[in-house]
Amino acid sequence: MISELLLPEYDEEIKKTRAMLERVPMKSDFKPHAKSMPLGKLAPHVAELPGFGLTILTTPELDFGKGSRERVPFESAQQLVKALDVVAAKAREALKNTPDKAWTESWKLSFNGHPIFGGSRFLAYRQMFLNHLVHHRAQLGVYLRLNDVPLPATYGPSADDTMGF
């Protein structure tokens, strides 16, 4: 079953994301460049991204221009972790229950009817959610480094968290 193969990867990526969010400093306006997203927007975005995975797994499409959603606030590292844990558990359950047939179904992302993505649910899950999560988590790592916050190990030890190496 496809979902059974994806669950260990999902669990690892959520674990790594959690470790990064645990270290977020409360500097909401910090950004490394004028064109960069401020930390107060990036960190909550990282925390809420499993909700996007949940949407991909449970709906045939999403139009960002229709409806509204409640954004995760930027209150504390603990609050960000709690927000991640809540939505990650829901997304994990949906992932566990996604039948093989559903992975080949079409999934669409648009903004006010203008296409952004169209492809299989599997491709949407991997590109639009999981790779997206890893991308923004890496950005968050740069923000932490620039604020002298020790980085957790991700795909091996970091210069700060050597895990005994």
User: What is the per-residue DSSP string for 90-105?
Assistant: HHHHHHHT--HHHHTS
Rounded Cα distance between 72 and 93, Å, is: 21
> Which tokens sit at 132?
């997206």
- Which residue type, as a one-letter code, is found at position 87? V
pLDDT at 86: 97
CATH architecture of 2-146: Up-down Bundle (1.20)
The alpha-carbon radius of gyration of the chain (Å, integer) is 16
Q: Is the pLDDT of residue 165 over 80?
A: no
pLDDT in tens, 21-44: 999 999 999 999 999 999 999 999
Query: Is the pTM here over 0.85, yes or no?
Result: yes
pLDDT at 14: 98
The pLDDT tens digits for 125-159 are 999 999 999 999 999 999 999 999 999 999 888 88
- Residue 69 pLDDT class (50, 70, 90 cuts): confident
159 token code pair: 């210069």
Asked whether the predicted pLDDT for residue 13 surpasses 70, the reply is yes
> pLDDT averaged over the chain?
94
Instruction: Calculate mean pLDDT across residues 55-69.
Output: 91
